């Protein structure tokens, strides 16, 4: 099976993630869009692994690392959103403009 369709699917998911990152108002939705982008990168890594047959299985190892770091990122990100929500009673990113000059 050719590799290009898989890469184009990953590129589509990545651009959907960019759209969500820029167009969403809710902080949790922005984190969801980031997950979509990380998932696209995982698809790319596994597809290249299946193409080049690395003896170390580096592509799959790296995608496991990405999944782990993404889990940590979601934990920290939601804790930050929770703390901001407690202080400003909003999860709306447009309201977080206290550092705007």
Partner 1 sequence: MDFAQPITWVFTSLALVIAYTGFRVVTSGNLIHSALALVFSLAGTAGLFLLLSAEFVAWVLVLVYMGAVMVLFLFGIMITKAPVGYDAELDNEHKGPALVAAVSVFVLMSWSTILAFDGQEMSSLGVPTATEDLADALLGRFVLPFEIVSFVLLAALVGGITLARKDNSPAEEEMS
Site for partner 1 in 35-64 (CB under 8 A): 35-36, 39, 42-43, 46-47, 49-51, 53, 56-61, 63-64
Closer to partner 1 by CB, 9 or 98: give it.
Answer: 9
Site for partner 1 in 9-38 (CB under 8 A): 9, 11-29, 31-33, 35-36
> Which tokens sit at 84?
């901001």
Q: With contacts defined by CB under 8 A, how many residues of the chain interact with partner 1?
A: 72
Nearest-approach distance from CB 98 to partner 1, in angstroms:
18
Q: How big is the chain, counted in residues?
A: 101
CB 48 within 8 A of CB 4: no
Q: Is 28:37 a contact under the CB 8 Å cutoff? A: no
In contact, 43 and 6? CB cutoff 8 Å: yes
Query: Restricting to residues 60-99, which ones interact with partner 1 according to CB under 8 A?
Result: 60-61, 63-65, 67-76, 78-83, 85-86, 91, 93-94
Q: Taking a C-beta distance cutoff of 8 angstroms, is the pair 96, 80 a contact?
A: no
């Amino acid at each position: 099976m050719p590799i290009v369709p898989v890469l184009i699917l990953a590129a589509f998911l990545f651009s959907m993630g960019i759209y969500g990152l820029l167009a969403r108002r809710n902080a949790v939705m922005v984190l969801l869009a980031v997950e979509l982008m990380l998932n696209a990168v995982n698809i790319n890594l596994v597809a290249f692994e299946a193409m080049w047959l690395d003896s170390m299985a580096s592509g799959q190892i790296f995608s496991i690392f990405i999944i782990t770091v993404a889990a940590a990122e979601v934990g920290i990100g939601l804790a930050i959103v929770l703390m901001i929500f407690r202080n400003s009673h909003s999860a709306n990113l447009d309201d977080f403009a206290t550092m705007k000059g």
